[in-house]
Chains A and B, each alone.
Chain A
Amino acid sequence: MLPGPSRSVMAAKPQKPQANPGTEHREKRGPDAPPPIKDSQFARQAPANLDRVSLPDVKVDVEELTRLYRQMQLIRRVEEEAARAYAQGKIGGFLHLYIGQESVGVGAAAALRPGDYVVGTYRDHGLAIAKGMSARAVMAELFGKVTGCSKGLGGSMHLFDAPNGMLGGYGIVGGHIPLAVGCAFASKYRGDGRVTLCFFGEGSVTIGSFHEALSLAALWRLPIVFVCENNEYAMGTPLARTLSVEDVSQKALAYGMPRDRFFARDVLEVKQRLGEAIERARETSEPTLVEVRTYRFRGHSMSDPGKYRTSDEIEAQKKLDPMLRARAQLELLGKTAEQLSALDAEIEEEVQDAVRFAAESEEPGPELLEPMTYVGPFAR
């Protein structure tokens, strides 16, 4: 469980993160326990100021915070509309919502430079939008239309946007992590100064390709940041039944890789903390594993009955919604209610426009299939 919520905007109650239920025993250290592993110089404990709800230490630029809030809100509204369209049968297959986790993708993308790469999982709508994809291109893809980012051929799990450096959402858990390392390899090879950000869930940390990817990235000192979005569940499996340790970032230790670990409550803090890792990758070509603790408010996908967690747990988490926090911060910084609702209205218009666009667009035809399979003549 994450620490309990702080309710007032001004309250600043430092709390320590607690272990996941069922993992406490693993944290105890008896006299016979082996000495703790010495961390790499960059490793950090989760900060004590996790629940600080006033403004973060970083210098706050109102315009920037407004932009990030807008992105988060856009992602959420796009997904809420997508969920509705799914219920109406306009979207099919799997639909994995990012609702609750928006601060991670948005904070991360804000720390990148144009030209940097991101690679993600099937839970990819937020990352795509944060990296610059239009709501229209996302929604049309979900509707399976030819105007979608992947021409309606990829669907929700496979959002790609080459001009914006979004190298896709992938459906095989962990399968994209080596691929992301490959992007970083190419950057180092060419000396192009780009950094790659690779996103994956905590459930992916048990798959072999995660370990091979980290091992090689560390060995070859590649400019990549591994962003583990620890939302506590892999489908219905809580972290305690995925890993034998509670601290996912520990996986970096054996690879001699710097690590960081923090809660994604504050989008600016996400930006700042990932920014440090990104700069390290850019300046010294050193990879970092960052565990960002977050929470998804919805089921794993649309078909998940979600019986593995209580509504109390979800409600408690919703009180910590990074979106509410960003909005409260904007108020604190002097944004008026009118200004904020004008912003919301603008977002609403963008979302409704995307839905209309998706609904009215054409579907792809079979003539697309062969040219989209091979470059050049079809290999029969």
Chain B
Amino acid sequence: MREISYRVALREAIAEEMERDDRVMIMGEEVGRYQGAYKVTEGLFDRFGERRVVDTPIAENGFAGIGVGAAMVGLRPIVEFMTWNFSAVAFDQILSNAAKVRQMSGGQFSCPIVFRGPNGSARQVGSQHSQSMDIFYAHVPGLKVLAPAFPRDAKGLLKAAIRDDNPICFLESETLYNLKGEVPDPSEGDLLVDIGKARVVREGADVTIVAWSRISVVAMQAAALLEKEGISAEVVDLRSLRPLDHETVLASVAKTHRAVVAHEGWPYGGVGAEVVDRIQRHAFDELDAPVLRVSGADVPMPYNAKLEQWCLPQPETIAAACKKVLYVD
């Protein structure tokens, strides 16, 4: 099968959905003439023109809200945040309008919009530019939150998100954009991935690692390290944070009886805590050890390169947590 990068997978998803449906348009800073700050939208301006690929000034709260309004009356906007850090400026539009309008209107209006962009750390971009916004959005009823790790899932989920009738926060990662993976050729038909389904990306017998987004890739590296020591780790890539597919997680835990949840965001009350809660509530009797979490350090991200890596989950720290739940050294 052909291999393409995560970046190209996203671009294909956007282009195919724009081709298919004139209501779909994209707006954001530098998405058009500049070809995208991270080149996800490269070529789209030339292909679809300025009516559908809209360059915005720096006004996140403004254009996010404009997207919400346009979605309420029939468009299906994709709003790109140059990075999710800047979505904090637009938080009110997502929290108070996008997520609420359906219920407030007794179902008269819905908000089919996709907010997307890179989330989490990049490399040494400092505390204000390295935030994992996962939990801020996953916390909100009314929103769906997706965080794929691999190109095929990125494409299939983004296409599904654009077709979904609810507001969706789609979390990418700058450090995943160059990651290559197998993605079926468009000639083989529409690639759609169901929203709300986790995926076992590596099978194993001894311990389950639950992760999402970039950390799923790190978890695969951890599993490879463990394999050298004779430990067989299963990796569950959540892909979707809300809805959260705990069935797939529980099925894995029923097999391995031990689990480690790994994520980049802070530990306090994060999505990881939600996963742990669901495991202990639904699979308490299956567990042979407490579930452990490996998270980003509980501090703002420092600039210094070594400290930044110190703050982030590494293959080694995830592997060490797995050994801990296995009670080996």
Contact = CB atoms under 8 A, between A and B. Distances in A.
B30 A154 contact: no
A369 interface: yes
B305 A144 contact: yes
Query: Which of B303, B305, B310 has the largest number of chain A CB atoms within 10 A?
Result: B303
B307 interface: yes
Contacts of A155: 124-126, 303-304
Interface in B14-58: 29-30, 33-34, 37, 55, 57-58
A172 B57 contact: no
Contacts of B37: 235
Interface in A326-380: 363-366, 369-370, 372-373, 380
A172 B307 contact: no
B128 interface: yes
A155 to B, nearest CB: 3
Query: Which of B61, B300, B304 has the largest number of chain A CB atoms within 10 A?
Result: B304
A200 B153 CA distance: 40
B228 interface: no
Interface in A295-325: 307-308
Nearest to A89: B305
Contacts of A209: 89
B62 interface: yes
Contacts of B126: 93-94, 154-155, 157-158, 171
B307 A241 contact: no
Given A155-B303, A175-B89, A92 B123 contact: yes
B205 interface: no
Contacts of B62: 206, 208
A207 B58 contact: yes
B59 interface: yes
Contact of B303 (A93, A203, A236): A93
A237 B124 CA distance: 25
Contacts of B311: 369
Contacts of A207: 58-61, 89
A173 B88 CA distance: 12
Interface in B285-319: 297-300, 302-307, 310-311
A174 B305 CA distance: 27
A234 B37 CA distance: 12
A204 interface: yes
A158 B127 CA distance: 9
A366 B127 CA distance: 15
B186 to A, nearest CB: 29
Nearest to A145: B304
Contact of A237 (B55, B86, B302): B55
A364 B307 contact: yes
B157 to A, nearest CB: 27
Interface residues of A, number: 43
Q: What does DSSP make chain B's interface, helix, strand, loop or mixed?
A: loop
A145 B305 CA distance: 10
A236 B307 contact: no
Contacts of A173: 58, 86
A172 B302 contact: no
A226 interface: no
A154 B301 CA distance: 9
Nearest to A235: B30
B33 A154 contact: no
A235 B304 contact: no
A242 interface: yes
Contact of A152 (B55, B86, B88, B304): B304
A170 interface: yes
B57 A242 contact: yes
Contact of A144 (B61, B124, B127, B128): B124
Contact of B58 (A94, A156, A206): A206
A204 B310 contact: no
B303 A158 contact: yes
Nearest to A152: B304
B304 A364 contact: yes
B30 A236 contact: yes
A221 B60 CA distance: 28
Contacts of B88: 172
B87 to A, nearest CB: 11
B85 interface: yes
B129 interface: yes
Query: Which of A157, A174, A235, A237 has the largest number of chain B CB atoms within 10 A?
Result: A237
A153 B29 contact: no
Interface string B109-139: 0000000000000111111110000000000
Given A93-B125, A157-B126, A369-B302, A308 B89 contact: no
Nearest to B82: A235
Given A93-B303, A206-B58, A157 B33 contact: no
A243 interface: yes
Contacts of A174: 58
Given A152-B302, A363-B306, A237 B34 contact: yes
B140 to A, nearest CB: 21
Given A93-B123, A94-B125, A234 B58 contact: yes
Interface in A208-224: 208-209
A171 B37 CA distance: 16
A204 B59 CA distance: 8
Contacts of A153: 127, 302-304, 307
A380 B267 CA distance: 10
Given A235-B29, A236-B30, A363-B306, A369 B128 contact: no
B59 to A, nearest CB: 4
Interface of B: 29-30, 33-34, 37, 55, 57-62, 85-86, 88-89, 122-129, 297-300, 302-307, 310-311
16 contacts: A93-B125, A155-B304, A157-B129, A170-B128, A171-B129, A172-B86, A175-B89, A203-B58, A204-B58, A206-B62, A207-B89, A236-B30, A237-B29, A364-B304, A369-B302, A369-B311
Interface of A: 92-94, 144-145, 150, 152-158, 170-175, 203-204, 206-209, 234-237, 241-243, 307-308, 363-366, 369-370, 372-373, 380
Closest 4 CB pairs of A and B: A155-B303, A93-B124, A92-B124, A236-B34
